[in-house]
Amino acid sequence: MAIANRVEAVVGSKEDAGSKIMRHAGLLSGQLQQLRTRMYPPKSEKTLRPFLTNEVSKLTSIPDSTLKLMSTEGRGPVPSRLENNHRVYTLAQINELRELFMMQKPSDALRFLPRRRAGEHLQVLAIANFKGGSAKTTTCVHLAHYLALHGYRVLALDLDPQASLSALFGAQPEVDVGANETIYAALRYDDAERRPIHDIIRKTYFDGIDLIPGNLEVMEYEHETPRILANKSSSGAIFFERLKLALSEVEADYDVVILDTPPSLGFLTLSAIYAATSMIITVHPAMLDVASMSQFLLMMGDLISVLNESGAQLDQDFIRYLVTRHDPNDAPQSQVVAMLRHLFGSDVLLPTAIESTAVEAAGLAGNVRYTNSNWGRLGAIPTSVPARR
Ligand SMILES: Nc1ncnc2c1ncn2[C@@H]1O[C@H](COP(=O)(O)OP(=O)(O)O)[C@@H](O)[C@H]1O
Ligand SMILES: [Mg+2]
């Protein structure tokens, strides 16, 4: 018996590979579509829930009593009332309050509204690691939520053709994102089709967070770039500069840009690293993942020296490691975390993203319900509920 037959006898069936994969793809995408429509009726849209007075107080450092007094005296934004008559504020109203207090107490302005000031540059934060499942996208979403809740203006940019980030912000990559509506539109090499980055930015349900969605189209950039490099035909910026240049057009509109990168070290990830002013490398504390991260760091080191040789300087404010999907009760994980801390010291962020079924379930439902308590240890705040219309 030939080796292929012997292996096949061990693993299974006779169907040819192409048709089996196509059949499985069809089955799975059909099932996912069904699940999605059941959990998320097509007409449903995500909304951000409003916040109770005590939550607003925690977020803004404006005392409860002041908020209540303002409301009774009719000053400031008018909160809605719940059935039990408790006051609730939208995030837009919370930001209104922030601006109000900032104006009233200029000496304390930064406490009320931590947006960047004159002379401070835009923070472009790349979340990277070519290991899939290291919680890059989850980290992007939670960080974006956290920053927006605290009054920052955030642009979330999906560079991953799998577009999970877009999906979590309610832009289903196959349905809601059309041709030339991803970041590819702003990066592409053909002048006729290229669009200003401003035109592809969309608002999200979350006040203070804008999104540039992704879908399979962004892969075009990985295909086109080597062609352009090979025949040196392109006029304009070389590949790794294009993202940075595009972002500079909307520089004034944001405090933080968060880049969700694909699980590969291609031209998109490289562009992200070049555009970034800081970087978080997410790492799941398991030996295989750490081995893969080691490869990632080696390759990135090589690529950065190539960039340096071509005259490009990387100048990042910080690079940190974030331990993700962390189970503190798991002994092997603890060993890995201890090793990382020993090797990289304070570059490994002290708080870790704890493995939690709440986060996982939220991901499955396409719905992020809790902001991660790691960002400032604020405690879990349910932030989004799917509204049924
Ligand atoms: N803290 C966590 N607890 C439980 N599950 C998590 C946590 N963080 C991420 N996940 C899950 O792990 C999977 C991979 O996360 P994801 O953010 O998509 O990784 P990446 O973008 O690096 O591929 C997802 O199913 C996500 O819901
Ligand atoms: Mg991802």
- Give tens-digit pLDDT for 105-116: 888 888 888 899
pLDDT-derived band at 366 (thresholds 50, 70, 90) equals low
For ligand 1, the distance from its centroid to the CA atom of residue 172, given in whole angstroms, is: 18
Q: Of 160, 124, 162, which Cα lies nearest the Cα of 143? A: 124
- 56 CA distance to ligand 1 centroid (A)? 29
240 pLDDT above the threshold of 80: yes
Rounded to two decimals, what is the model's pTM? 0.86
Please report the pLDDT score of residue 215 as a whole number. 92
d(CA 268, CA 277): 16
228 CA to middle of ligand 2, Å? 27
**CB environment 89-106: b (16+ within 10 A), e (fewer):** bbbebbbebbebbbeeee
386, pLDDT greater than 60? no
Rounded to the nearest angstrom, the distance between the alpha carbon of 29 and the centre of ligand 1 is 20
Output the six-digit token pair for 344. Answer: 């990289």
Substitution site in 360, 364, 375 for ligand 1 pocket (most atoms within 8 Å of beta carbon): 360
H helices present in the chain, as ranges = 3-11, 17-39, 53-60, 64-73, 91-104, 109-112, 136-149, 164-168, 184-187, 219-231, 239-248, 267-275, 287-309, 331-344, 357-364
Judge whether residue 13 has pLDDT over 50.
Answer: yes
For the CA of 263, the closest atom of ligand 1 is: 23
Per-residue pLDDT band for 380 (boundaries 50, 70, 90) equals very low
Number of other residues whose CB lies within 10 A of the CB of residue 333: 20
Q: Is the CB of 133 under 6 A from ligand 1?
A: yes
Q: Which residues, by Cβ under 5 Å, contact ligand 2, an ion?
A: 136-137, 164
- Sorted by where each starts, the structural domains of the chain and their CATH numbers stand as 51-112 (1.10.1660.10), 117-387 (3.40.50.300)
- pLDDT of 374 above 60: no
What gap in Å lies between CA 369 and CA 193, rounded to an integer?
38
pLDDT at 250: 97
The CA distance from 127 to 309, in Å, is 24
Residue nearest to atom 5 of ligand 1 (CA): 360
Helix axes 267-275, 239-248, angle to 10 degrees: 50
Residue 45: strand pairing partners: 387
Helices 239-248/219-231 angle, 10° precision: 120
pLDDT band at 236 (very low <50, low <70, confident <90, very high): low
Pairing of strands 209-212, 202-203: antiparallel
Report whether pLDDT(242) > 70: yes
